[in-house]
Structure 1
Amino acid sequence: MASKHRLGWIGMGRMGTPMAELLLKAGHDVQLWNRTKSKAEPLAAKGAKLVDQPADLSGTDILFTMVSTGKDLEQVYFGEGGVASRGKNALPKIFVDCSSIGVEDSAKISARLGEMGAQFLAVPVSGNGKCVKAGKLSAVASGPRAAFDAAKPYIEAFARAGLSYVGEGELARICKIAHNVMLGVVIQNLAEITILAQKHGVPRHAFLDFMNNSVMGSTFTRYKSNALVNLDWTTTFTMELLRKDMDLGLTAARKFDVPMPVTAATREAIQSHFGVATLKPDPKAYLDMDFATLLETQALASGVALKSEGVPVPTGLEVDH
């Protein structure tokens, strides 16, 4: 299927690379920029056109971004050599940001683009790189409805598990913050109950198999089970990013007078993990591991020695061809 619009993409991280690749597989022409060019080169071999700076994407119709922070997004849009650096007459018509950033940062960027005549969609996603490849990534969108309708076919190329439009403005950011707050609460509680079961003599793989087959099981608990059983800390999402999202949730709650005692307790439990990291030979490298390492903190607090059980555990994220 040929693109009706010229597409641009910025951000070739763990999420951005497989998401952009699905646009290419769907037959769309995509121009790419990434700060580290070598990370984008594999997609050049699959049909993408690489550009030298974000400003070179100013001639696209719809520009997608997947970066780490609001500051990163502001830089690639408005910084030196940024997409908007050539003025409002050389600007994509629609900006689609899939990053997880704060509401205030998003609103400021949206307003700034609006003043230049462009439309901005907040489209954060749910899942990790493996979810993208397995066709189980979902997305939530907010912003101008006409812009959403134009971008929808392209978003659906990578958000194959579902795409929800929730309204104007920054509502999608609120949904994503709430989503990641639940992520933090669930992984912390999953670590707690798994260690509880282990300390009573239940193998982790047996306990998690029971949980995953129960009404409490989910796509998330199933695909994290292998990590918890076999201590596979291959990074899908870091502790620093999780802590950031818990703080975003609590900030949003305080602004609107919403009590969130479970979230607050979970945030402090997560903070204890950063203390444990200081005991490691390389604290930064440890914090860059997957957030499932929370299991180690819970085990340490419970007097439990962790060892890989060496039991193959299906993740439910087999790649959908």
Structure 2
Amino acid sequence: MAKIAFLGLGVMGYPMAGHLKSAGHDVSVYNRTTAKAEAWAQAHDASFAATPREAVEGAEFVMSCVGNDDDLRAVCLGADGAFTGMTAGSVFVDHTTVSAKVTRELYAAAGESGISFVDAPISGGQAGAENGVLSVMCGGDVAAFERAEPVIGAYARICRRIGDSGAGQMTKMCNQIAIAGLVQGLSEALHFAEKAGLDGRSVVEVISQGAAGSWQMANRYETMLDDQFEHGFAVDWMRKDLGICLDAANETGASLPVTALVDQFYKEVQKLGGGRWDTSSLVKRLRALD
């Protein structure tokens, strides 16, 4: 069992840290809102710290799951940052969805202190985190990944190294690009069924067993039909991710016309007041056009 620090206790990080503790690891946590870290520590009979530097003291592995590029820099760098408190030979594993640019920047900064840095963004949503069945896509040095993989296994169904630093984040972009198109297609199918006077549940029962079937269809069609969106992965978060996708596409020369269009559709959902709605709320936008 390892000594681990977990930085960031949002809807994903909170249960992920819990799985590490349940697996028998010695876990210390940090959260920007200290009260949440204290509550987690009390619930799991563990420790918490007021700064990332304090949380990582003596840790063999440090996991982070925060908000964006700036949040990740804040927990890593500076006088109270994790890199200042980590010892040479330890491994930093970042589960945040951020740009490959900041990942490579922090990989280099960690290396200067003898620290390994693995970018390991996750997919599976809040339910995946709570049930310990996340998909984890990693970038970084082989040796660091091989050390971290058994620890990540506490909350992962699959964990794979895709390539060098940044490869995990670029793979997560592939994930978000695919989801954007899938959710828009599903929204249009359900909207079409409604306008045609069909029973949506009967339609999905049939088409989900064929080539149209997907995780989004299986897990979101009922709430979409019921016009319920107060759950799941928020539109605000998805727009952050799609912005990273589109920036990366400009850098790589990739063409993402559907992703760019769906990003604008999510912008319209935000204007409807749906920034915190689940990403399946694209169907609500279609209904609003009636």
TM-score by length of 2: 0.93
- The match for 2:185 among 170, 184, 189 is 189
Describe the superposition over 1:187-224 as per-residue Cα deviations: whole angstroms up to 9, x where unpaired: 11211111011100112322233333223212232111
The share of aligned pairs that are identical, in percent, is 26
**Cα 1:205/1:134, change in 2 over 3 Å:** farther
- The answer to whether structure 1 residue 262 and structure 2 residue 250 are counterparts is no
1:83 aligns to 2:88 (yes or no): no
Deviation track 1:277-312 (CA, whole Å, cap 9, x = no partner) reads 2xxxxx3xx3122222221111112x1xxxxxxxxx
Provide Cα deviations, 1:93-150, integer angstroms capped at 9, x if missing partner. 1100000001111111111111121110000111111122334311111101111111
Matched letter for residue 295 of structure 1: V
Give the AA of the match of 2:100: V
- Residue aligning to 1:204: 200
What are the residue-to-residue correspondences of 1:18-33 with 2, within 5 Å? 18-33=15-30
State the TM-score, normalized to the length of structure 1. Answer: 0.84
* Equivalent in the alignment of 1:176: 172
Matched, 1:134 2:122: no
Tell me how far apart the structure 2 counterparts of residues 292 and 132 of structure 1 sit (CA, whole Å). Answer: 19
Q: Which of 147, 152, 160 is residue 149 of structure 2 equivalent to?
A: 152
- Other-structure match for 1:111: 108
The alignment's C-alpha RMSD in Å is 1.8
Contact 2:103 2:165 in 1 (8 A): no
Cα distance in 2, alignment partners of residues 223 and 146 from structure 1: 37
Structure 2 stretches of 5 or more lacking a match?
A: none
Matched, 1:50 2:45: no
Q: Is the 8 A contact 2:122 2:136 kept in 1?
A: yes
Residue 253 of structure 1 corresponds to 249
In structure 1, the gaps of 5 or more residues are 278-282, 304-321
Determine which of 279, 283, 287 is the counterpart of 1:291. Answer: 279
Number of residues of Structure 1 aligned to a counterpart in Structure 2: 288
1:261–1:289: structure 2 CA closer, same or farther, 3 Å change rule?
closer
| 1:300 to 2:283 alignment | no
